[in-house]
Structure 1
Amino acid sequence: MDVFRRVLVSFLVLIVAFPARAAERPVLVCFGDSITAGYGLQPNEAYPAALQRKLDAAGYHYKVVNEGTSGATTKDAVASVPAVLRLKPQVVIVEFGGNDGLRGLPLDVTRKNLDAVLTQLEAAHVKVLLAGITLPPNYGADYIRTFEGIFKELAAKHHTAFVPMLYKDVIKQQGTIQADGIHPTAKGSEILAGTLMPIVRVLLKRGK
Structure 2
Amino acid sequence: MQAGYAVVRRRAQWWLALVVMTFMQALLAQPAPRAATAATTKTVLVMGDSLSAGYGLGPNEGWVPLTAARIAREKPGWKVVNASISGETSAGGASRIGAQLQRLKPAVVVIELGANDGLRGLPLDQTRANLEKMITASQAAGARVLLLGMQMPPNLGRTYTEGFASLYSALARQYHTAFVPFFLQPIAGDRANFQADNLHPTTEVQPQIRDFVWPALAPLLK
> TM-score, normalised to structure 2's length?
0.84
Aligned with residue 182 of structure 1, among 185, 190, 199: 199
Runs of 4+ in 1 over 6 A off after TM superposition: none
Aligned with residue 182 of structure 2, among 139, 162, 165: 165
User: Which of these two proteins has the greater Rg computed from alpha carbons?
Assistant: 2
What is the percentage of aligned positions where both structures have the same residue? Answer: 37
Aligned 8 A contact 1:170 1:188 in 2:
yes
Residues 185 and 61 (structure 1), Cα distance of their counterparts in 2 relative to 1, 3 Å cut:
farther
Residues 8 and 175 (structure 1), Cα distance of their counterparts in 2 relative to 1, 3 Å cut:
farther
Does 1:197 find its partner at 2:214? yes
Does 1:124 find its partner at 2:124? no
Aligned with residue 18 of structure 1, among 29, 34, 46: 34
Aligned with residue 106 of structure 2, among 62, 79, 89: 89
Measure the CA separation in 2 of the matches of 1:7 and 1:141. Answer: 76
Larger RCO, structures 1/2 (Cα 8 Å, 6+ apart): 1
Residue deviations 1:171-202 (CA, integer Å, cap 9, x gap)? 25674321111112222222211111111111
Amino acid at match of 1:4: M
Aligned 8 A contact 2:105 2:141 in 1:
no
Correspondence 1:48-87 to 2 at 5 A: 48-85=64-101, 86-87=103-104
Does 1:29 find its partner at 2:69? no
Residues 189 and 111 (structure 1), Cα distance of their counterparts in 2 relative to 1, 3 Å cut:
same
Aligned with residue 4 of structure 1, among 9, 21, 27: 21
SS of the residue aligned with 1:45? coil
Aligned with residue 130 of structure 2, among 113, 117, 120: 113
Count of residue pairs the alignment pairs up = 203
Measure the CA separation in 2 of the matches of 1:4 and 1:199. Answer: 57
RMSD of aligned alpha carbons: 1.8
Measure the CA separation in 1 of the matches of 2:165 and 2:60. Answer: 29
In the TM superposition, residue 3 of structure 1 has moved relative to its aligned partner by 3.2
Measure the CA separation in 2 of the matches of 1:176 and 1:126. Answer: 33
Give unmatched runs, 5+ long, in structure 2: 1-17
Give unmatched runs, 5+ long, in structure 1: none
In the TM superposition, residue 83 of structure 1 has moved relative to its aligned partner by 2.5
SS of the residue aligned with 1:134? coil
Amino acid at match of 2:34: F
In the TM superposition, residue 46 of structure 1 has moved relative to its aligned partner by 1.7
Does 1:145 find its partner at 2:162? yes
